[in-house]
Amino acid sequence: MAAAAARTVGSGVVLPRSVTFVTGNAKKLEEVRTILGQSIPFQSLKLDLPELQGEPEDISKEKARIAAKEVNGPVLVEDTCLCFNALKGLPGTQQTYVHASISVYVLLFEFKWFLQKIGHEGLNNLLMAYEDKTAYAMCIFSLALGPNAEPMTFVGKTQGRIVPARGPNDFGWDPIFQPHGYDQTYAEMPNEEKHKISHRGKALELVKLHFAEARYTFQTDSTT
Ligand SMILES: O=c1nc[nH]c2c1ncn2[C@H]1C[C@H](O)[C@@H](COP(=O)(O)OP(=O)(O)OP(=O)(O)O)O1
Ligand SMILES: [Mg+2]
Q: Number of helices and strands (H, E) in the chain?
A: 6, 10
Determine contact, residues 79/151, Cβ cutoff 8 Å: no
Q: Name the binding residues for Mg(2+).
A: 51, 79
Determine contact, residues 169/194, Cβ cutoff 8 Å: no
96 Cα–ligand 2 center, Å: 19
Q: What's residue 61's pLDDT?
A: 95
- Shortest-distance atom of ligand 1 to CA 31: 1
Complex ipTM: 0.97
Q: What's residue 82's pLDDT?
A: 85
Q: What's residue 114's pLDDT?
A: 75
List, in order, residues 6 or more apart from 168 with CB less than 8 Å away: 174, 175, 187, 188
**200 CB under 6 A from ligand 1?**
yes
Q: What's residue 68's pLDDT?
A: 97
Give the 3-state secondary structure percentages of the chain, helix then strand then coil, rounded to 5. 35, 30, 40
Q: What's residue 3's pLDDT?
A: 41
Q: What's residue 104's pLDDT?
A: 37
Strand-strand pairing, 134-144 and 152-162: antiparallel
Ligand 1 binding pocket mutation candidate from 63, 80, 204 (most atoms within 8 A of CB): 80
Q: What's residue 6's pLDDT?
A: 37
Nearest CA to ligand 1 atom 8: 80
Q: In Å, what is the CA distance from 5 to each residue of 10, 75, 143, 151, 163?
A: 10, 15, 10, 10, 39
Q: What's residue 87's pLDDT?
A: 61
Q: Which CATH number fits domain 7-218: 3.90.950.10, 3.40.50.1360, 3.20.20.140, 3.30.420.10?
A: 3.90.950.10
Distance from C-alpha of 5 to C-alpha of 92, rounded to nearest angstrom? 37
Sites in the chain below the pLDDT cut of 70? 1-11, 86-111, 221-224
216 Cα–ligand 1 center, Å: 28
* Dihedral angle computed from the Cα positions of residues 210, 215, 218 and 223, in that order, rounded to the nearest 10 degrees: 60
Q: Where are the domains of the chain?
A: 7-218
Q: What's residue 201's pLDDT?
A: 98
**pLDDT tens-place string over residues 122-169:** 889 888 888 999 998 999 999 999 999 999 999 999 999 999 999 999
